[in-house]
Amino acid sequence: MIALSELDSPALDPQAHLELVDALVEQGWYVGKGVIDSALCQALHREIHQLAELDALDEAGIGRGQQHHLRKDIRGDAIHWLDRESDAQRRYLDAMAELQQSLNQALFLGLFEYEAHFAHYPAGAFYQRHLDSFRGRANRVISTVGYLNPDWPSDGGGEMVIYHPDDPTLEVARVVPEAGTFACFLSETIPHEVLPTRQPRASIAGWFRRNASMGGVLDPAR
Ligand SMILES: O=C(O)CCC(=O)C(=O)O
Ligand SMILES: [Fe+2]
């Protein structure tokens, strides 16, 4: 018997896979529309709504480990870490594992792990301009964002703005959080922000990591 999932189209458009690697090399970021399979987007979107209804989302903070604290003036989303608890999550994470292999083969990045969370931005929420990783503590190497919102209206707000790596005031792309769109960028060098959203906004933010544990000091994944 063939499992239904084997008959599905690929979770990520294979053509986009190739473009993504080139774009990362050339400019440090990539954005593609219609990259994530639409049935998968729907399933993941349903899941984040169920999690919200079950009150299973946590207010997101900034900083990691013991430096973690809530700052609604900096970021206003609520999150839930993916843990392979559903078919949809497994399919998304398997696709990211494949992407990790392509990135390692093409770019010799030595990525060894991927972590990702659902993010739910209620109306009015935003995430101020930031970097996902700090140079010298190269834990998060490549950031990914998958968007899950069907029929995002043109006045919905909530775009992710990508800035130039050498000039954090120069906008280079504005990403509408429409279902199927996939963005990817270098975590240490690409400043980005989420503009205030006018309606609830769902996405999956994830990071390919390198092991940054040193001298017996554990680098916490989250
Ligand atoms: O949802 C997005 O568009 C980006 C989120 C983000 O920058 C983050 O979670 O670090
Ligand atoms: Fe970010």
- Select the highest-mean-pLDDT range: 34-48, 59-73, 135-149: 34-48
Q: How many residues are there in the chain? A: 222
Find residue 197's DSSP bridge partners: 157
Cα distances from 87 to residues 3, 40, 186, in angstroms, run 12, 9, 28
- The confidence band for 71, taking pLDDT boundaries of 50, 70 and 90, is confident
Per-residue pLDDT band for 72 (boundaries 50, 70, 90) equals confident
What is the distance between the alpha carbons of residues 112 and 148, in angstroms, rounded to a whole number?
26
Q: Please state, in angstroms and rounded to a whole number, the distance separating the CA atoms of residues 147 and 197.
A: 13
- Residue 78: nearest ligand to its CA? 1
Please tell me the distance from the alpha carbon of residue 112 to that of residue 94, in angstroms, as a whole number: 14
Q: What is the pLDDT of residues 181-201, one digit of tens each?
A: 999 999 999 999 999 999 999
Q: Which strands make up the sheet holding 127-130, listed edge to edge?
A: 127-130, 192-194, 160-164, 167-175
Residue extents of the structural domains in the chain: 11-209
Q: Which residues contact 23 (CB under 8 A, 6 or more apart)?
A: 29, 30, 184
Any residues with Cβ below 6 Å from ligand 1, and which?
119, 127, 132, 145, 160, 192, 194, 203, 205
Average pLDDT over residues 63-74: 74
The residue among 36 and 222 whose pLDDT is bigger is 36
For 191-204, give one letter per residue: b (16+ CB within 10 A) or e.
bbbbeebeebbbbb
User: CA torsion 179→57→122→158, rounded to 10°?
Assistant: -40
Q: Return the best residue to mutate from 127, 182, 187 for the ligand 1 pocket (most ligand atoms within 8 A of CB).
A: 127
Q: How confident is the model at residue 205 (pLDDT cuts 50, 70, 90)?
A: very high
Is the ipTM here above 0.95?
Answer: yes
Q: Which of 31, 47, 36 is nearest to 11 (CA)?
A: 36
Closest residue (by CA) to atom 10 of ligand 1?
Answer: 132
State the chain's mean pLDDT as an integer: 89
For 145-174, how does the pLDDT look when each residue is reduced to its tens digit (9 = 90+)?
A: 999 999 999 999 999 999 999 999 999 999
Query: By alpha-carbon position, which residue is closest to atom 6 of ligand 1?
Result: 205
Amino acid at 129: R
Report which ligand 1 atom has the smallest distance to the Cα of 203. 1
* From 7-16, 31-40, 99-108, the region with the lowest mean pLDDT: 7-16
Atom of ligand 1 nearest to the CA of 132: 10
Ligand nearest to the CA of 186: 2
Q: What is the pLDDT of residue 137?
A: 60
pLDDT at 175 over 70: yes
Region 58-70 average pLDDT: 74
SS3 18: helix
- CA of 145, nearest ligand number: 1
Phi then psi dihedrals of residue 48, to 5 deg:
-70, -30
- CA-nearest residue for atom 9, ligand 1, is 205
Question: Which of 14-23, 43-52, 117-126, 204-213 comes out lowest in average pLDDT?
Answer: 204-213
Q: Which residue's CA lies nearest to atom 5 of ligand 1?
A: 205
CATH topology of domain 11-209: Jelly Rolls (2.60.120)
**What letter does residue 65 receive in the DSSP assignment?**
G
Mean pLDDT of 174-180: 98
pLDDT value at position 110? Answer: 87
